[in-house]
Amino acid sequence: MEITHLGSGSRGNSVLLSTDESKVLVDCGFSLKRMESRLDMIGVKSSEIDAIVVTHHHSDHSGSAARASKKWASTLMSNAETARRMEWGNHQNFTEFSDLERIEAGGDLSLLPIPVPHDDADNVAIIARSSEGKRASIVTDLGEATDELKKHLSACSHISIEANYEYSRLVGGPYPDSLKRRITGRGGHLSNTQTGQILNEVMHEGLESVVLCHLSENNNRPHLAESEVLMRICDSFTGDLSISKQSGPEFTHWLGQSEPERITGLS
Ligand SMILES: [Zn+2]
Ligand SMILES: [Zn+2]
């Protein structure tokens, strides 16, 4: 399985999971034009996308999912609450999934949606399993990791997880107090420290790669996220730590190999 982040942040999120038989997008939060140009950058035709799995209704995750699914003839998938919020019930390509029930996304790829607390959304983390039994997780937008989620992360070879804000930057910054409380609360986002603590808890020998995503442009910086997380996991982690930025795809991770391949030829 290959894992390629097409970009991540409050202005859009999307990750491509690719196997011999399947190509699945987890979230489709950029404009349709931008989704197609980013797929083009990595040599994937939009018509090759089999399914678009949407984690929750916020527009930085759901943005162009319905239009893309119609134009590309891809299956559009979400849980019931996200579908209700998005009014996808009558969409021709829509398939509903239930939390904690396995989704067969092709002969050699299955996905398990795990409910996670975040804002007023019915958000899910996605645990993807290849035919060899290796697992990758995509976990963006959560206020707090549940025991259920941590149990699954402990068995993943790859973890993509948000590191949204640096606590002191958020608290000392210009946001109103009510918004600061929402971001730091159980329903908000993870700070660099919380992400480092979760990774430390789920650390195991088989963890090959970690991608930090959904960094706030106002309240975080890549070097702050990287150093805070590394400080908490460096005693036991020998794999690759990368950061997905808002601007576009920069690397691809393969399950079974820690070092990512850099994507070249970007404008
Ligand atoms: Zn969200
Ligand atoms: Zn988000």
The predicted pLDDT at position 188 comes to 92
For ligand 1, the distance from its centroid to the CA atom of residue 131, given in whole angstroms, is 30
Q: How far is the CA of 195 from the centre of ligand 2 (A)?
A: 15
Kindly indicate the confidence band of residue 101, based on its pLDDT and cuts at 50, 70 and 90.
very high
How many angstroms is it from 194 CA to the middle of ligand 1?
17
Which domains, ranges and CATH numbers included, belong to the chain?
2-253 (3.60.15.10)
| pLDDT for position 267 | 45
What is the CA(61)–ligand 2 centre distance, in A? Answer: 6
Q: Which ligand approaches the C-alpha of residue 119 most closely?
A: 1
pLDDT class for 119, splitting at 50, 70, 90? confident
**Nearest ligand to residue 61 Cα:** 2
The whole-angstrom separation of Cα 177 and Cα 150 is 30
| DSSP H helical ranges for the chain | 32-41, 59-62, 65-72, 80-86, 147-153, 167-172, 177-184, 192-202, 222-233
CB of 30 closer than 8 Å to CB of 7: yes
- Of 177, 163, 185, which is closest to residue 229 (Cα–Cα)? 163
Predicted local distance difference test score (pLDDT) of residue 266:
53
Separation of 133 CA from ligand 2 center, angstroms?
28
| Span from the CA of 235 to the centroid of ligand 2 (angstroms) | 30
Rg (CA), the chain: 17
Gap from CA of 132 to ligand 1 centroid (Å) = 31
CA 240 to chain centre: 17
Ligand nearest to the CA of 13: 2
Interval between CA 234 and ligand 1 midpoint (Å): 29
Alpha carbon distance 153, 174 (integer Å): 34
Query: Does residue 264 register a pLDDT over 90?
Result: no
pLDDT reported for residue 265 = 59
Closest residue by Cα to residue 125 from 93, 94, 95, 158: 158
Separation of 215 CA from ligand 1 center, angstroms?
13
Tens-place pLDDT, residues 193-224: 999 999 999 999 999 999 999 999 999 999 99
Distance CA 264, CA 135 (A): 26
217 alpha carbon – ligand 1 mean position (Å)? 15
Average pLDDT over residues 150-170: 97
- Please report the pLDDT score of residue 197 as a whole number: 98
Segment 87-112 mean pLDDT: 95
Question: Which numbered ligand comes closest to the C-alpha of 140?
Answer: 2
Strand order in the sheet with 251-254: 94-96, 75-78, 51-53, 23-26, 14-18, 2-7, 251-254, 261-262
Q: Give the distance (Å) from ligand 2 centre to CA of residue 141.
A: 5
Query: For the segment 16-27, what is each residue's pLDDT rounded down to a tens digit?
Result: 999 999 999 999
Q: Which residues surround ligand 2, an ion (CB under 5 A)?
A: 60, 141
Cα–Cα–Cα angle for 138, 252, 73, rounded to 5 degrees: 70
106: nearest Cα among 40, 49, 28, 27: 49
pLDDT digits (tens, 9 = 90+) for 42-56: 999 999 999 999 999
Q: 227: alpha, beta or left, given left = phi > 0 and alpha = psi -120 to 50?
A: alpha
Mean pLDDT of 106-126: 94
Q: How far is the CA of 86 from the centre of ligand 1 (A)?
A: 14
234 CA to centre of ligand 2 in angstroms: 27
Q: What percent of the chain has pLDDT over 70?
A: 99
- Overall average pLDDT of the 10-38 stretch: 97
Nearest to 230 by CA among 191, 200, 260: 200
The CA distance from 31 to 39, in Å, is 12
Average pLDDT along the chain:
95
